[in-house]
Amino acid sequence: GSLGSNLPSRVNKRLMAAFSRVPQRVVWAFPHDAPEETPANVLVLRWIPQNDLLGHNNTKLFITHCGANGQFEALYNAVPMIAMPLFGDQPYNALRAEYNGIGLQMNILEFTPDDLTKAIDRVIHGDYGRQIQRLSDIFRSRPLTPVQRSAYWIEHILEYGGDHLKSYALEMPWYEYLMLDILLFVLGIALIAVTLLACCLKSLCCGKK
């Protein structure tokens, strides 16, 4: 993704400072002109074919906002991540990546260059690469490729139609779909029980008088 495209300049400077300290070459998708202080090991491009870059054998790490598409591309290509989420589904995706041992998450507004360089070294030289390779193998281990599966279902529907594949929920009244009838039934039973209990208590109290 375009990491840093909508961030304060101070954050981009921290990213650049961290990248200047690592021995690896860095390719950064940044939709503006490259800053004048760009280090020699950093290549700044306005646009990058992200999936192709992640599929390159020399790609060892993906620093990302952790949107769904980027995360699945990293998983497919077995590239561990450093997630710097901002909004939407990104924080959840980052948490999931860290939980599954395929990346680390960092606060993009609070990190220091030293924090990032340590995280880069930890992910590249830790077990994250082996773990995401394992999950990538599982993800790829399917009886049919997506293209084959699409072709199968297209041919199936052309031959047999698609009525038998439709969910019965499409024919249900909205109140049944939302299970409001069941909810009202349960509430009715509860109301009757409470009413009977109240009557019993009232009767006992009146009897004592």
Confidence label for 16 from pLDDT (cuts 50, 70 and 90): very high
Start-to-end CA distance of the chain, whole Å, equals 78
- Amino acid in the structure at residue 202: K
- For the chain, count helices (H), then strands (E): 9, 5
Q: What average pLDDT does the chain have?
A: 90
Q: Is the confidence at residue 6, as pLDDT, over 70?
A: no
Q: What CATH number has the domain spanning 9-140?
A: 3.40.50.2000
**What does the pLDDT look like over 157-200, one tens digit per residue?**
999 998 888 888 888 899 888 999 999 999 999 999 999 998 88
pLDDT of residue 142: 82
Let me know: does 103 contact 97? Beta carbons within 8 Å: yes
Burial class (CB in 10 A: 0-12, 13-18, 19+), 111: middle
Range scoring the smallest mean pLDDT among 18-27, 60-69, 114-123, 135-144: 135-144
Give the DSSP per-residue string, 105-136.
E--TTT--HHHHHHHHHHHHHSSHHHHHHHHH
Q: How far is CA 75 from CA 1, 81, 172, in A?
A: 15, 9, 38
**What does the pLDDT look like over 60-96, one tens digit per residue?**
999 999 999 999 999 999 999 999 999 999 999 999 9
The angle that helices 128-140 and 68-77 make with each other, rounded to 10 degrees, is 90
Q: Is the confidence at residue 138, as pLDDT, over 60?
A: yes
Let me know: does 79 contact 59? Beta carbons within 8 Å: yes
Six-digit token string for 183: 């909810």
